[in-house]
Amino acid sequence: MEEMPVVETPSTQPEGQGDVAAGDAALLALTTERDQLRSENADLREQIMRLRAEFENSRRRGERERVQVIEFAAMESARQMLPVLDDFERALQAHPQGDAGWREYVKGMELIHQRLTDALLRMGVEPIESVGTPFDPNLHHAVEMTPTEDAEHHTILAELQKGYNFKGKLLRPAMVRVAVKP
């Protein structure tokens, strides 16, 4: 068999330029891939930062809601104790002024009343001062309107049942008698 001679065809690129063009293409591909990876990396970092912020906000919201639930439970407990406090106050106002045995009984009732009042104050229950102040429908429940010249219009003359706030929130409005001009 006879060998065939190898015939070279002339290239359109000068010698050595084919290697440079291939190198440039490879460099361009690597640069493009690098830029794409950097972009993906930045997107992922941004996504992680958003998720981290979202988690932190969720944690804070959960903590705030937990505190509110605890406060609400304490508020309900305090609300349940108010009728007992009212009964103590009525009992203390109704005692007779004589007998020595009654005095000891009244002292005991006063001591219990004071301890209950102190416990409620520590829980955050505060009485609303009403007598002599202007009527405020957000704090007071008018049970009676009394025509009088002795007090300013819409001034509270008497407190029929004390009102209370719990840590700055209305727990129970005060039942009051309000002055009106005749």
Mean of pLDDT values over 39-59:
94
158: buried, middle or exposed (CB in 10 Å: 19+, 13-18, 0-12)?
A: middle
69-128 residue pLDDT tens = 888 888 888 888 888 888 878 777 766 666 677 777 778 788 888 888 888 888 889 999
Domain 126-182, CATH: 2.30.22.10
pLDDT of residue 12: 52
State the average pLDDT over residues 35-42: 95
Q: What is the DSSP letter of 155?
A: B
Tell me: pLDDT of 4 over 60: no
pTM above 0.75, yes or no: no
Taking all residues of the chain, what is their mean pLDDT, rounded to a whole number? 85
Indicate if the pLDDT at residue 139 is higher than 70.
yes
Domain assignments of the chain as residue spans, ordered by start: 126-182
Give the residue carrying structure tokens 């640069």.
Answer: 31
Quote the CA–CA distance of 23 and 40 in Å, as a whole number: 25
- Long-range contacts (CB closer than 8 Å, 24 or more residues apart) made by 104-113: 112/88, 113/85, 113/88, 113/89
- For residue 117, give the nearest of 104, 126, 105 by alpha carbon: 126
Q: Does the pLDDT of residue 155 top 70, yes or no? A: yes
